[in-house]
Amino acid sequence: MQTQLDYGNWIRKRLLFILGSCALGAGLLAFLPIGFIYHTIMTVVFMVTFLSLLFPLYAFIMFSQKGGRMQEKIYNLIIQNLNVSGAGKILDIGSGNGVLAVKLAQRYTEMDVTGMDYWGEDWEYSKGVCEKNAQLVGVSDRVHFQKGDAARLDFESETFNGATSNLTFHEVKSAVDTRSVLQEALRIVKPGGYFAFIDYFFDEKYYGKKEDLEKFLEGLGISHFEYKSIGDLIALPLLLKHPRILGKVGIIYGSKKDISVG
């Protein structure tokens, strides 16, 4: 039987619990025999809260390993576009439950992987679950997890052969701006090293216009990069194309310029 990693879910269970509790409470209160106006108001409140629950519940199911497995598909998209080879080190920024870091270690068997996350109270992830996932598939000797801030990575410049991140940069509250987090992630990549990052790269409030972001990347010594919507690379369910879910999510991958060549 295939070992099942604990993926967690990008939709918070507490959000579903709150919305579900509100919908249930409003539904029950609507049955109290207090009067027509009261009944009408509570019925409207129930309908609003119930409809508000359906969208995140659908996304939760689509992201789940027992549903649409979209989290796994997106992790695999990062791994397929990293292109590292041989021995070395990879940094996964914003590891969550550590699944991407573990899958990187499984795919690149000569690489040591470091998974970094802040693991704040806002998220339903933990370092302990990360370490358990690594142990489940027998890669704990090559995978290390540590707490850190993506805005100020605790590593020397040009330390890693590869770097990855999934839907983390826009969540870093300690950053001056989101593009500075992207710049920090690239700082720790060695010349000639590779990167693959997924985030809301098509959302102008985080990264500006596409052409401005491309110029920004070119100014960071990137020899080659691709910049694509994930919807062009994997099939997204219709509702997940909503701008607040995955509609403005893109992947940037490529390599850092090796000044010793040419």
Residue 73 phi, psi dihedral angles, 5° rounding: -65, -40
| Residues 50, 159 share a domain | no
Residue 147 placed within a domain: yes
Regions of the chain short of the pLDDT cut 70: 1-3, 259-262
* 8 A C-beta contact, residue 162 and residue 195: yes
| Residues 32, 137 share a domain | no
Task: Output the six-digit token pair for 13.
Answer: 């269970």
Q: Which of 63, 80, 98 delimits the end of a domain?
A: 63
| Residues 134, 46 share a domain | no
**Domain around 119:** 70-256
Q: Percent helix, strand and coil across the chain, each rounded to 5? A: 40, 20, 40
Helix (H, G, I), strand (E, B) or coil at 121: coil
**Rounded Cα distance, 113 and 92, in Å:** 7
| Residues 79, 188 share a domain | yes
pLDDT value at position 259? 56
* 8 A C-beta contact, residue 254 and residue 223: yes
| Residues 114, 43 share a domain | no
| Residues 96, 57 share a domain | no
pLDDT value at position 101? 98
**Rounded Cα distance, 245 and 230, in Å:** 12
Q: Which of 63, 95, 121 delimits the end of a domain?
A: 63
CATH of the domain at 177: 3.40.50.150
Residue 261 placed within a domain: no
| Residues 49, 104 share a domain | no
Nearest CA among 128, 118, 222 for reference residue 175: 118
Helix (H, G, I), strand (E, B) or coil at 62: helix
Q: What is the maximum span of the chain, computed from C-alpha positions, in angstroms?
A: 82
Which helix (H) or strand (E) element contains residue 46? helix 36-63
pLDDT value at position 4? 87
pLDDT value at position 1? 45
Give me the number of domains the chain comprises.
2
Residue 5 placed within a domain: no
Strand order in the sheet with 143-147: 143-147, 111-117, 88-93, 160-166, 189-199, 250-256, 222-229
| Residues 190, 80 share a domain | yes
pLDDT tens digits along 162-191 = 999 999 999 998 998 999 999 999 999 999
| Residues 162, 46 share a domain | no
| Residues 168, 127 share a domain | yes
Residue 32 placed within a domain: yes
Residue 159 placed within a domain: yes
| Residues 240, 134 share a domain | yes
Residue 103 placed within a domain: yes
Q: Which of 46, 63, 80 delimits the end of a domain?
A: 63
| Residues 116, 197 share a domain | yes
pTM value?
A: 0.91
pLDDT value at position 260? 52
